[in-house]
Structure 1
Amino acid sequence: MVKNFESPKIIWWIIVPTCIIYLFLLVHWPYAIPFDYLGSFGQLSYYLISNYRILLFLILWSTFIAHLYEAFVARTICRQLNINQESTYLWIIQTFILGFPSLRILKGYTRRGLW
C-alpha cells in the first residue's frame, strides 16, 4: 500500500492551532481571556488589544486567507500527483489547519516523487 498521507510533527499541532485560537479570542472575545493570570504575556496581550486591535484583526484574517490559499495549493498538488480522494481531503484539512508545515511535506512529494 502506498503512503499518500503524512502528518507533521506533533509540536506543529500544538503551536499553530493554539496561536490561531488565541489570536481569534484576542480579537473577537478579549473578555474571555484572563489577562491577569498570564503574567507578562497577559500584559503584552492586553496592551496589543488596547492599542492595536485593527492590526490584530488584519493579522487574524490575513492568516485565515493564507491558510485557505495553502489548502487550495494542497488540493492542486494532490491532483497533479493523482492522490486518491480520501487522502486529498486529509491533506486539504490538515493544510488549512496547520498551513506551511503540512504544505512543506506535500511539496516534498513533488520533489522526490510520490511513488
Structure 2
Amino acid sequence: MLSYLHDYYHSKDLFRSVSEIINLACSATKDKYGVIHQPLLNIEPKYYIPDELHMMMRITDILIRNLFDDANSKDNYSKITGGHTDNLKILIEAICSCGVSFKTWINKACELEYTSLSGVDK
C-alpha cells in the first residue's frame, strides 16, 4: 500500500511543468492555482511531495468557516420563517465544552468573525 501512495504523487496528471508555472505566474487571471511568482531556477522537478500538514490545516479552516456560515444561515432562515433556533450559540457552546477558549463577534462590515484556532485548539 505504501508504494501505491508513493506512485500516486508521481502520476503524470499531477505534474506541473516549469513552463506551466511561468504561464500561470504571468497570466492576468484571478485563479493562478497557488502560483505567485515565476520560479528562480528553470529546473523540471522529478518528484512532488505535498505539504500535507499545511494542506490539512487549510482544509480545517475552511470546514470551520463552513460550520459557522451554515449555523448562521440556519438561524437567519429560522428568523424569517418565524421559528426560533440558536444554532450558532449551540455550536459555540459545543466548541467551548471541549476546553477551547472561543469567542464570536460581528465586525464593522456586519460579518461574523470568530477566534482563530491554532495548535491543539484546532
Name the one with the larger strand percent: 2
Provide the TM-score with structure 2 as the length reference: 0.31
Name the one with the larger helix percent: 1
Provide the TM-score with structure 1 as the length reference: 0.32
| Higher Rg of the two aligned structures | 2
| RCO higher in structure (CA 8 A, sep ≥6) | 1
